Amino acid sequence: MSSQVTVPADFDPENAQNIEDLEKQFAVKAVLHAQTFWNLLEKKKGSEMKLTKMDDQLLEDFIKTFPKYADPKELSNISEDEMKSPEGKKQWREFMNRYEKTLNDYNFGTLLRKSASDEYAEETTIFVPRVQFLVFEIARNRNKLNDWIYEEAHKQ
Amino acid sequence: MSTEEAQQPRIEELPDSPEAESAPETQEIPNDDSTIPEGSSIAIHSRNAKKAMQAVQKLGLKKVDGILRLVMRRSRTILFTISRPEVYQTPAGGYIVFGEIRVEDLGAPNMQNMQAAAAAAAAQQGAGEGGAPDVLADAAEGLKIQEEPEEEGEIDETGLSGEDIETVMGQANCSRAKAVKALKSNDGDIVSAIMECTA
């Protein structure tokens, strides 16, 4: 069993297109992921939730690398422009690459709410790699920023 | 010897005559239960159950058709099953189910015994109300499917927290074995594990 994949002779990486169906699959998975996460938040308080087996480690590294997110206000409202600026991208790439081996799907596109006080909606959601989703949501969970979802669901 | 063999087929053919089998199946279902013919395929409910059902229908519940078997799991091996249940859905999404409950123990020695038991039960019921055997055939088939994941035996849960496993089980509505497997293959990522179990 060899894992070698031969590249077609006429393949031009500079002009390669994504296969549309594959992209759709990807979107389906991202939405499913968001729904599953939301359901989980309704069932269980964010502050009592664990997302991975290494939440503590992720959180520590996250706050160390991006000290400004120790402030709950920053966690609650993410500036997408800042995060996706050339500088922000570089910092994040370095951060994420540390988890290439230890986190499943560390790079997989995932929906993240810009604000911890919003539901998933078109304008309130951004598309980020899995590691970014995890660190923000773990930090929000720990800061009890997601507990309102559970309380909302258990109001009656 | 040869005369006996020649006679046998004729004897066997008789019960298989098409009129005997298809007649009850095609019969219109009458509203008045006093006119239900012997051997008809509709379920017979007690007066109380019928009253409850009528009351329930007034609450704006929607009947869910096409459900052959309902299984509730009590512990790892004990199943409560209802064959051909009457299922109603509430506007809020919950379900109300009517039917006769049967207890099944998946821990029973082996499948063959259970199928034999199911067949015996089918024969008994078949005498009382026609149309039952095929329901039980479905039930036996359902048992076979249900049984598969259990055959893995003891599950190795090392490195997983019981709470995580229960969260996945609760969210995905799956067996413990499946939850453990999904948590392992997703390296402890809860959301991904739930997704795997619900897929």
- Dump pLDDT digits (tens) for B62-90: 777 888 888 887 777 777 788 888 887 77
Question: Does residue B136 contact residue B115 with C-beta atoms inside 8 Å?
Answer: no
- Dump pLDDT digits (tens) for B6-19: 444 455 444 444 44
| End position of a domain, from candidates B105, B122, B141 | B105
SS3 content of chain A, % helix, strand, coil (to 5): 55, 10, 35
Count of structural domains, chain B: 2
Of residues B169 and B19, more confidence is placed in: B169
Structure confidence at residue A126 (pLDDT):
92
Task: Decide if B37 touches A, using CB distance below 8 A.
Answer: no
Which element (helix H / strand E) includes B87?
A: strand B86-89
Instruction: Please check whether residue B84 lies inside any domain of the structure.
Output: yes
Chain A hits for B163, CB-CB cut-off 8 Å, are: 50
Instruction: Please check whether residue B176 lies inside any domain of the structure.
Output: yes
Residues B152, B157, B161, B163: is their CA dihedral positive or negative?
Answer: positive
Task: Decide if B115 touches A, using CB distance below 8 A.
Answer: no
For residue B94, give how far its alpha carbon lies from the nearest alpha carbon of chain A (Å). 16
Query: Given an 8 Å threshold on Cβ–Cβ distance, is A40 in contact with B194?
Result: yes
Chain A hits for B186, CB-CB cut-off 8 Å, are: 104
Q: Which of A119, A99, A152, A131 is nearest to A37 (CA)?
A: A119
Instruction: Report the CATH number at residue B90.
Output: 2.20.70.30
CA-angle at B194, arms to A146 and A150, nearest 5°: 25
Domain A17-154 carries which CATH code? 1.10.3560.10
Choice among A1-5, A46-50, B60-64, B156-160 with the minimum mean pLDDT: A1-5
CA-angle at B95, arms to B93 and B96, nearest 5°: 145
- Dump pLDDT digits (tens) for A64-109: 999 999 999 999 889 888 888 999 999 999 999 999 988 888 888 8
Instruction: Please check whether residue B144 lies inside any domain of the structure.
Output: no
- Residue A51 has its nearest CB partner, among B159, B191, B198, at B191
Q: How far apart are CA A103 and CA B188, in angstroms?
A: 9
Instruction: Please check whether residue B114 lies inside any domain of the structure.
Output: no
Chain A hits for B189, CB-CB cut-off 8 Å, are: 51-52, 103-105
Domain boundaries of chain A, sorted by first residue:
17-154
Name the DSSP letter for residue A67: G
C-alpha separations of B152 from B72, B102, B147, B177, B181 in Å = 20, 25, 10, 8, 11
SS3 for A76? helix
Q: Which of B86, B103, B87, B106 is nearest to B95 (CA)?
A: B87
Structure confidence at residue A14 (pLDDT):
76
Domain with B192, as residue range(s), is: 162-198
- Residue A53 has its nearest CB partner, among B170, B187, B198, at B187
Name the DSSP letter for residue B76: S
Query: Given an 8 Å threshold on Cβ–Cβ distance, is B189 in contact with A105?
Result: yes
Instruction: Please check whether residue B122 lies inside any domain of the structure.
Output: no
Query: Given an 8 Å threshold on Cβ–Cβ distance, is A36 in contact with B191?
Result: yes
Q: How far apart are CA B41 and CA B74, in angstroms?
A: 30
Phi then psi for residue B101, to 5 deg, are -90, 145
Chain B hits for A50, CB-CB cut-off 8 Å, are: 161, 163-164, 190
